[in-house]
Chain A
Amino acid sequence: MNSKEAVIRTEGVTKIYDSGEVQVEALKGIDLAIKPGELLAIMGASGSGKSTMLNILGCLDYPSRGDYFLDGIHVNDLDRDQLADIRNRKIGFVFQGFNLLARTSAFENVELPLLYTRNVPNQDINLLTRQALERVGLKDRAHHYPNQLSGGQQQRVAIARALVNQPAIILADEPTGNLDTRTSIEIMATFQELNRQGITIILVTHEHDIADYCRRVIEFRDGLIIRDQEVAQPRDASRDLETGQLQTSGLGERS
């Protein structure tokens, strides 16, 4: 692998959760390189270490052993504040449960990362927030509260929030897990569009239908990568939406 090109590179990353008596080795030595502009799906059974991996990639947590380089920066060496700044500037998070602030408008949710960014003038906060909402097609919902939005719309707000600081990478942990098929594909169409604009996207899913829209699929089992595959012809989500081909044939066929 060409390490110079990689925006994300891990070498022998392990993660051990130590809750006193029991030690869980959630990751057992992960070597992974991800180049800028990839659209990558992480698959695997529940408990295989996908979320743990994503949290480390997202600088929410430190690896127990092994090295993690993000944009050439050795993340292991950074302190909590530096990790916070990386999360703020380089990474956008999208979660299964949306994780929006309740009783807080879409606009205010989206602008949140900018409030924690040093040196952003107020007019830029406004502009960037509106642009991010526009990119996910929610310009007219800026002043709606999460409980006034559908699940898909809430996830779009979350994506706009992930986008607002123009990150290099978006990390999404089962972003379609709470959504119906059509909405899931809509979200995938958004991700594909953002990916075409150059953002590296890594998403965790256990649905093959969703992974089918990605250009690279890796599979975890018991804290190890057991498969790493390029997909020659990923499905095009917006075309599937147009043609109404919402039920992909792959469901259940592949293991």
Chain B
Amino acid sequence: MKWKNLIKVAFKSIVKNKMRTLLTMLGIIIGVGAVIVMVAIGKGAEQRIQNQISSMGTNLIMVFPGSSQQRGVHMGSDQGVRLTLDDVEWLKKNSTLLEAISPMVRSDVQVIGGSGNWNSSVYGVSEGYLAIRDWKLSSGDFFTANDIRAQSKICVIGQTLVKNLFANEDPVGQQLRLRNVPFRVIGVLKERGQSAFGQDQDDVIIAPYSTVYYRLSGQPHIHQILARATSLNQMEQAQAEITSIMRESHKLAEGEDADFTVRNQTDIASTAQETTRVLTILLASIASISLLVGGIGIMNIMLVSVTERTHEIGIRMAVGARSRDILVQFLIEAIVLSLSGGLIGVMIGFGATYIVHLATDWNTVIAMENVLLSFGFAGAVGVFFGYYPARKAAALNPIEALRYE
């Protein structure tokens, strides 16, 4: 039998049984759609982090308290904390590969001022902070070394605070009370968006570290030291230099474990990226399972349909269909069903991804290779799960099939 005729026969049978067709395709539609949405969400998260790495300025180096063996120790960890302002001074004095160094003291505060109050974090840093973070002001000024020496009660605020406290007025020059200490707003930061870890980077108040350290924090240590390497090419040397200066500062003996961790922004971002990649894989696997279930659905309905169509198969055989003709007809039906299901699934996946994007504002990325992959997978599912029922149909004995009612 000619291929054209076989395809014609298969299509006729698909069109003739719309309900069965729809039911068969449903699993594949949902499976392919789910894979596309899930992967788009995961890829979107990955891409957002990618963008963050490039926007963050890659010559940022951070020093955290705690040894590197204690993975996942970040700011705010109080265990064995041993970062002090002396360390910062020591680094400033001895480093050769760093162009700016800043301590960071963080404190969560309630902010009162403008049109209400807001819970945020105040970061105490030095005047070089903006250069280190590669950040700019949208208005006003940043504080200076003099302000740090004088422990001035001034601050610069992020866009989230502007939105929540100063929706209708210029915040520059206004007063804010941080834990009841009055601060004057002298500048506003440009919008930064979410960090690699999903934090709102605009929900910040930046103030001289001395002011935060002595007037707000109440803790005799600093949470982080930030530094900017002079050259991107010398990141590793700069990190090595920091390590050796810090060991000196902490008077660590040769071979003793460091009680601090030096990392650059890329290390951290790639950790985050690794995490989201795992998330993507997880999402994709869950969605693939639904694709697999869709395939089993095809097999299920094809098997029922072989039984239901036994008489039809008998008629076809009686008028001269070979076993192979029946096999191919059923296989083509399965493949056409799964491919059209795949196609509809792709379209629904695109639509659903867009809706998710609109509803959640998440970044989503539809990668063509994934679309083709899930589409191809749908076809393979059709062949794989269509083969057994098709074989069963082809192996029928014509007389018994004819007698079957």
Known: A55-B399, A60-B399. A113 touches B16 (CB 8 A): no
Counting chain A CB atoms within 10 Å of each CB, which of B1, B5, B9, B12 scores highest?
B5
Known: A101-B315, A104-B16. A88 touches B320 (CB 8 A): yes
Known: A60-B398, A108-B12. A87 touches B312 (CB 8 A): no
CA A112 – CA B8 in complex, angstroms? 11
Q: Are B5 and A81 in contact (CB under 8 A)?
A: no
Known: A60-B398, A80-B323, A81-B323. A116 touches B316 (CB 8 A): yes
CA A89 – CA B320 in complex, angstroms? 8
CA A85 – CA B16 in complex, angstroms? 27
Closest to A61 in B: B399
What are 26 inter-chain pairs, A to B, with CB distance below 8 A?
A55-B399, A58-B318, A60-B317, A60-B399, A60-B402, A80-B322, A80-B323, A81-B323, A85-B320, A87-B317, A87-B319, A88-B319, A88-B321, A93-B318, A93-B319, A99-B402, A104-B12, A104-B16, A108-B12, A112-B315, A113-B319, A116-B1, A116-B325, A117-B1, A118-B1, A165-B320
Interface membership of A84, Cβ < 8 A: yes
Interface residues in B327-343 (C-beta closer than 8 Å to A):
none
A185-210 CB contact bits vs B (8 Å, 1 = yes)? 00000000000000000000000000
Closest to A115 in B: B5
Interface membership of B190, Cβ < 8 A: no
Interface membership of A143, Cβ < 8 A: no
Could you say which residues of chain B place their CB within 8 Å of the CB of A104?
12, 16
Q: Are A84 and B317 in contact (CB under 8 A)?
A: yes
Shortest Cβ-Cβ A-B pairs, 9 listed: A88-B320, A113-B319, A116-B320, A115-B5, A84-B322, A81-B322, A116-B321, A87-B320, A116-B1
Closest to A173 in B: B402
CA A89 – CA B322 in complex, angstroms? 13
Q: Are B320 and A161 in contact (CB under 8 A)?
A: no
Contact of A85 among B9, B311, B322, B398 (CB under 8 A): B322
Could you say which residues of chain A place their CB within 8 Å of the CB of B316?
112, 116
Could you say which residues of chain B place their CB within 8 Å of the CB of A100?
315
Interface membership of B324, Cβ < 8 A: yes
Could you say which residues of chain A place their CB within 8 Å of the CB of B1?
115-118
Interface membership of A74, Cβ < 8 A: no
CA A85 – CA B1 in complex, angstroms? 10
Could you say which residues of chain A place their CB within 8 Å of the CB of B315?
99-101, 112
Could you say which residues of chain B place their CB within 8 Å of the CB of A113?
319-320
CA A113 – CA B323 in complex, angstroms? 14
CA A85 – CA B8 in complex, angstroms? 20
Could you say which residues of chain A place their CB within 8 Å of the CB of B320?
84-85, 87-89, 113, 116-117, 165
Could you say which residues of chain A place their CB within 8 Å of the CB of B314?
99
Interchain pairs with CB closer than 8 A, number: 67
CA A115 – CA B9 in complex, angstroms? 8
Interface membership of A103, Cβ < 8 A: yes
Interface residues in A104-154 (C-beta closer than 8 Å to B):
104, 108, 112-113, 115-118
Could you say which residues of chain A place their CB within 8 Å of the CB of B324?
81
Could you say which residues of chain A place their CB within 8 Å of the CB of B71?
none
Counting chain A CB atoms within 10 Å of each CB, which of B312, B315, B318 scores highest?
B318
Could you say which residues of chain A place their CB within 8 Å of the CB of B9?
115
CA A73 – CA B402 in complex, angstroms? 25
Interface residues in A162-185 (C-beta closer than 8 Å to B):
165
> Nearest Cβ in chain A — how far from B260, in angstroms?
78
Interface membership of B2, Cβ < 8 A: yes
Q: Are A115 and B8 in contact (CB under 8 A)?
A: yes
Counting chain A CB atoms within 10 Å of each CB, which of B1, B16, B398 scores highest?
B398
Counting chain B CB atoms within 10 Å of each CB, which of A61, A95, A101, A103 scores highest?
A101
Could you say which residues of chain B place their CB within 8 Å of the CB of A118?
1-2
Q: Are A161 and B16 in contact (CB under 8 A)?
A: no
> Nearest Cβ in chain A — how far from B309, in angstroms?
10
Could you say which residues of chain A place their CB within 8 Å of the CB of B322?
80-81, 84-85, 116
Known: A112-B315, A113-B320. 18 other contacts (CB 8 A): A58-B318, A60-B399, A61-B399, A80-B322, A80-B323, A81-B323, A85-B322, A87-B319, A93-B318, A93-B319, A95-B402, A99-B315, A100-B315, A104-B16, A116-B325, A118-B1, A118-B2, A165-B320
Interface residues in B374-405 (C-beta closer than 8 Å to A):
398-399, 402
